[in-house]
Amino acid sequence: MNAIFEQKLAELGGVSPGPAGRAKAPTEEEFTTIETLYGRRFPEDFREFALSCGGSRFSQWIAFRMVEAPIYKPNQLVDHLSIFYGGGDDKHVSFKGAIDKYVKPRRVPVYFLPIGDIFDGDQVFISTSQSMGGRVYFWDHENESDPDSPEMRDCFGVQVPRNMSLIAHSFTDFILSMYVDESIS
């Protein structure tokens, strides 16, 4: 894993495996299968992190800052990450389970990959579209659009569902925006 991620994870108290026996980092083969499903290789920073830290969670309350507040929560520029999705097929903690829950039923466009869970049911997605360059998005589960006629909006020059907002312009920026939230014990 690159030195930037190693240093930041150390500052955050490190990561540990997710729920016992259910969460793990994806194998290279599992990750390649997911990339094949999406029709492209994912950004290297995300790929590297997922292959070593997928299926993990933090031992402390970790918050992240967002570039853009969610439309339906205009005063919220911070949220907390529960777990990074990983390998295997557990429906709650794996990429496969999250794809089955959010992408296959068209709850989000097919060019978004779910990468993590936020404690209240909201999600973190990374764009797999070439034009969106690996941007990371917040997805508000309480304000979903109809998949047959999704309400889209412009987000920094890209059309996204109305219930999504930009967290970071890259996966590295997402990781660097994280901090230990000492206000929660």
Q: What is the pLDDT of residues 149-182, one digit of tens each?
A: 778 888 877 888 989 999 999 999 999 999 999 9
Q: What is the model's pTM?
A: 0.93
Q: What is the mean pLDDT of residues 100-121?
A: 91
Domains along the chain with CATH numbers: 3-180 (3.40.1580.10)
C-alpha–C-alpha distance, residues 153 and 127, integer Å: 15
Angle between helices 28-38 and 44-53 (to 10 degrees): 140
Tell me the residue type at 106: R
pLDDT at 154: 83
Instruction: State pLDDT tens for residues 26-54.
Output: 999 999 999 998 888 888 999 999 999 99
**Can you tell me the distance from the alpha carbon of 83 to that of 80, in angstroms, rounded to the nearest whole number?**
10
> Predicted confidence band at 138 (pLDDT cuts at 50, 70, 90)?
very high
Write down the pLDDT at residue 49: 95
Buried b (16+ CB within 10 A) or exposed e, 63-93: bbebbeebeebeeeeebbbbbbbbbbebeeb
Residue 14, pLDDT > 60, answer yes
Average pLDDT, the chain: 90
* CA 61 to chain CA mean position, Å: 16
The amino acid at residue 165 is: S
pLDDT band at 12; cut points 50, 70, 90: very high
Residue among 184, 8, 45, 19 nearest 117 (CA): 19
